[in-house]
Amino acid sequence: MENQNQGRRARSYGSEQLSMRAPENNSDLSPRFKLIFSTVAALTVLALISNVVLAAFGGDSEQVSAAAEACSRTYMMGFGAIVGLISGKAT
């Protein structure tokens, strides 16, 4: 008799776990969040590409070095912003 009760509890507990894990609404991202996220991602990729191009074809002048450093900081901050946006939305 106890085995049957334990089996029922295990099955009901398993179904409760599944219902807690399944998201209720797949499209819970607001249009504002999507806009901000896509803008930050685009600027990050643009800064990374600019940094690579400046490093490859820019030369050795002081201005190119300063621009490459600015691009480097920009894509690092963009990556941090992306991580922050994702982690903030996950909680």
Predicted confidence at residue 50, as pLDDT, reads: 94
Rg (CA), the chain: 24
Q: What is the mean pLDDT of residues 35-54?
A: 95
Write the DSSP assignment of 18-81 as a string of letters: HHHHS-S-TT---HHHHHHHHHHHHHHHHHHHHHHHHHHHS-S-HHHHHHHHHHHHHHHHHHHH
pLDDT digits (tens, 9 = 90+) for 9-35: 555 555 555 455 545 555 678 999 999
25 vs 79, more confident: 79
Average pLDDT over residues 38-48: 95
Predicted local distance difference test score (pLDDT) of residue 66: 93
Q: Which amino acid is at 36?
A: I
Residue 27: the pLDDT is 61
Q: What is the pTM of this model?
A: 0.64
The domain ranges of the chain are 2-90
Instruction: Name the DSSP class of 11.
Output: H
